[in-house]
Structure 1
């Protein structure tokens, strides 16, 4: 990615410190530093602010990065890793829910409790890995920028980034997922209790 060098160059040409630039675009100095070192990519709103502030086009700021963005968005390795972790999470959850019935069935064997603990640990590990992959790749930011440069609906992409919307969506997914796991666990416990 080349935007970091461009931000730093334009900032220095305009005579801004990182702190001054941060105040002008309503972010922290650390955020500006992360942009300049290519640790994070500015979102489309910040790119628009930077283009106005530096008096350059958005295309000029992101030129050279668009192909890399397209590549990351379609990166088979990242997509494959996300798929693997998703499947791991789902299988571990299913096995964890079913294994709760085993805990009831083998109530005199305390070691059996390790099975659901291990399964649910794998589930949490996998979900964390998925989120880190998404964040590390700046996938939402790249999708927004690609939509903007291609003249598509950026607002549709922005809605995916909206923190309150994200929190609500995640809460609904987690709640629904927890409900399904709870039902599966209850069924497993009932089946194994009957078999006992």
Structure 2
């Protein structure tokens, strides 16, 4: 029996209409209809909401479909991981391009860098839209939430790339702090203000930002 059939049977047994289930899951009635016809699969947040609405467990809903559901969550998490890192790359690339633009020897090179910046911005915007949808759908508010979610829903692999990815996610605050350091140093270099003293001040400031961010994450997760 497929998961959509189980959802429909639970809904009917509880005397609930599709509109009511949709409201409980914060989705449209059409989305619920697609689930019940096995056209689409609910994500983990929706599965938890469905289980709560029916006073049952997620395991009871997915039944024998568990391997398929796990593969689906793994695939979704991988796509989100690509978006997550792509946005970080765009952020760093944009800062580097501004640094190059500040030191461009002529107008033609400035124009080329401006075109490259526009291209990077376009990639960032195209990545941000599905990124925002995913975070809202799964209730991810902080970078700590994102890291924990990805670590939970990505299947274990022994490949070097996946081990490195999991290591980065497990120490996301350290990597985020290093990224802030790099961004501040790039900004100082672009403005022509990079000196040993300014570098120390920048690193101290980014460390403070990292600590504040960590405490903000803990406060939001209370």
2:119 is aligned to: 118
Contact 1:99 1:188 in 2 (8 A): no
Structure 1 residue runs of 5 or longer lacking an equivalent are 141-160
Give the direction of change, closer, same or farther, for the CA distance of 1:29–1:72 in structure 2 (3 Å limit).
closer
- Show CA shifts across 1:171-195 (max 9, x none): xx8x976785354233234289xxx
Give the direction of change, closer, same or farther, for the CA distance of 1:87–1:61 in structure 2 (3 Å limit).
closer
Give the direction of change, closer, same or farther, for the CA distance of 1:61–1:78 in structure 2 (3 Å limit).
closer
Contact 2:62 2:69 in 1 (8 A): no
Structure 2 residue runs of 5 or longer lacking an equivalent are 146-172, 195-222
2:9 is aligned to: 9
Query: Normalized against structure 1, the TM-score is what?
Result: 0.53
- Considering Cα pairs closer than 8 Å and 6+ residues apart, tell me whether 1 or 2 has the greater RCO: 1
User: Structure 2: how far apart are the matches of 1:84 and 1:14?
Assistant: 40
User: Structure 2: how far apart are the matches of 1:15 and 1:91?
Assistant: 49
1:93 is aligned to: 91
1:156 is aligned to: none
Give the direction of change, closer, same or farther, for the CA distance of 1:14–1:94 in structure 2 (3 Å limit).
closer
User: Structure 1: how far apart are the matches of 2:13 and 2:189?
Assistant: 67
User: Structure 2: how far apart are the matches of 1:179 and 1:90?
Assistant: 14
SS of 1:40's partner is coil
SS of 1:106's partner is coil
